[in-house]
Amino acid sequence: MTAPPKNLTPAKTHWARPLDAPPYYGYALRPGITFTYLGLKVNERAAVHFAGHPSRNLFVAGEMMAGNVLGKGYTAGVGMSIGTTFGRIAGIEAARAAHKEAQHETA
């Protein structure tokens, strides 16, 4: 393992590796919006609200509902926690909604 480069600001660690052997590849990037920031309004059962009323069959988790938990602002990675917790809730509620719909269609 080679020693890290010296006299660099910020200092590099021993994990830095030189880029001294071609071929080199690259692709164009451009900025864009990658998430909904504060998300959709939902209730405690992860149902999306439309005109102040919860949907019967649309449920969300993770980044799509982050604003319900975070309020103003954003903390990186919190969407994964929200997704884990509310993903289970949303899945259960979606299964219940599908079951109710199936019962209604056969009645």
Two structure tokens written together for 79: 């969407």
The 10s digit of each residue's pLDDT in 25-76 is 998 888 766 655 667 889 999 999 999 999 999 999 887 887 777 777 667 7
Kindly list the domain boundaries of the chain, sorted by start residue.
47-106
Residue 1 has pLDDT above 80, yes or no: no
Q: Look at residue 104 in the predicted model and tell me its pLDDT.
A: 80
Would you list the DSSP string of 25-72?
Answer: ----------S-TT---B-TT-EEEETTEEEEEEE--GGGGHHHHH-S
- When pLDDT is averaged across residues 75-93 and rounded to a whole number, the result is 87
Q: Look at residue 56 in the predicted model and tell me its pLDDT.
A: 93
For residue 65, with 0-12 CB atoms within 10 Å meaning exposed, 13-18 middle and 19 or more buried, which class applies?
buried
Q: Tell me 100's DSSP state.
A: H
Is 18 or 47 the better-scoring residue by pLDDT?
Answer: 47
State percent of the chain over pLDDT 90: 35
Angstrom distance (rounded) from CA 103 to CA 97: 10
Q: Against a cut of 0.85, is the pTM above it?
A: no
Residue 90 has pLDDT above 90, yes or no: yes
